A = this chain, B = another copy of it.
């Protein structure tokens, strides 16, 4: 309708309502009580509605020196896990008038792209997964309020951390497989340098250390179904007695083990027990359904966002790891 192609500003609203720009700002910012009469306030709101006024966020951000926008840095977008993290963080953020912008460290784009160049929005703070290794150095350089997800609490140099109790998950897996009678394990580990994966290896080894007659070999693989197939195939056809159970760092790796097993003629769970970690939708789509550790991704995101809000407000973030739970399904059975 408007002739001019530019968007209406608060000044246009002021003119339409017959008041000053300051009055518009007060009314629309809900700070008018005792400063503007109810009638005038209503006139301003009406004018704003008529003109389709939307505040210019760049101007507001500049004025206020903050953006109510937070960056969530994730390693990649291809798993539903981080989708859940985003959903949870976004929900909490919305409750506090914040927005969340996603920075998936994109595969195929140059290695060290600057997240802050990509998310052109100015930022109040950052939540970063420890898996997004490339981005981390850039983040440190910004000196922004930072919350790390699944990162070494000791090595985070003061940044707040929110962690899943992965160690407990691995303990539950080990317990379950030991009680079924397994003794020879293969640990199919993620090929990504990150504290959260180191924990898995360490905890598995430590849990098995006390049990006589156990052995565990390790293979490494990129985190994808197709990527895991060759690694699993090699490890399962290596000389010497074959492992009877494969503990995977991730459900995707477990799906790769299924494929490898099919190609080797091994049947799950009769010839081989398999466990995953995540409980993706995939876990119940494959046959047999996967015994895995359920991670509550949304709660993870919520806690991350809450921690960041706490940091922004100078409070102490809530402590304590997020509990996880073994889900027993058809991919594990006693060894033959």
Q: Give the CA-CA distance A142 to B55 in the complex, in Å.
A: 12
Q: In the complex, are the beta carbons of A108 and B87 less than 8 A apart?
A: yes
- Which of A61, A100, A285, A286: most chain B Cβ within 10 A? A285
User: Given A59-B62, A255-B285, are A118 and B104 neighbors across the interface (CB < 8 Å)?
Assistant: no
Nearest neighbor of A124 in chain B, beta-carbon distance? B120
User: Given A77-B86, A113-B94, A120-B57, are A225 and B285 neighbors across the interface (CB < 8 Å)?
Assistant: yes
User: Given A52-B141, A83-B104, A286-B285, are A109 and B122 neighbors across the interface (CB < 8 Å)?
Assistant: no
**Chain A stretch 38-97: residues in CB contact (< 8 A) with chain B:** 52, 54, 56-59, 61-62, 67-69, 76-80, 82-83, 86-87, 90-91, 94
18 further A-B contacts with Cβ under 8 Å, apart from A258-B285, A287-B287, are A56-B122, A57-B120, A57-B121, A58-B67, A59-B62, A61-B61, A83-B104, A87-B106, A94-B109, A94-B110, A94-B118, A100-B118, A119-B121, A252-B281, A256-B285, A259-B285, A282-B282, A286-B287
Which residues of A are interface residues toward B (Cβ below 8 A)?
Answer: 52, 54, 56-59, 61-62, 67-69, 76-80, 82-83, 86-87, 90-91, 94, 98-102, 104, 106-110, 113, 116-122, 141-142, 224-226, 252, 255-256, 258-259, 262, 281-282, 284-287, 298
Chain B contacts for A52, CB-based, 8 A: 141
Q: In the complex, are the beta carbons of B99 and A102 less than 8 A apart?
A: no
Chain B contacts for A121, CB-based, 8 A: 57, 67, 69, 99, 101, 119-121
Q: Give the CA-CA distance A271 to B116 in the complex, in Å.
A: 54
Q: In the complex, are the beta carbons of B281 and A226 less than 8 A apart?
A: yes
- Option from B56, B68, B77, B101 in Cβ contact (under 8 Å) with A83: B77
Give the distance to chain B from A109, nearest Cβ to Cβ, in Å.
Answer: 6
Q: In the complex, are the beta carbons of A99 and B119 less than 8 A apart?
A: yes
Q: In the complex, are the beta carbons of A99 and B86 less than 8 A apart?
A: no
- Option from B67, B102, B262, B285 in Cβ contact (under 8 Å) with A102: B102
- Option from B58, B108, B141, B256 in Cβ contact (under 8 Å) with A62: B58
Q: In the complex, are the beta carbons of B90 and A106 less than 8 A apart?
A: yes
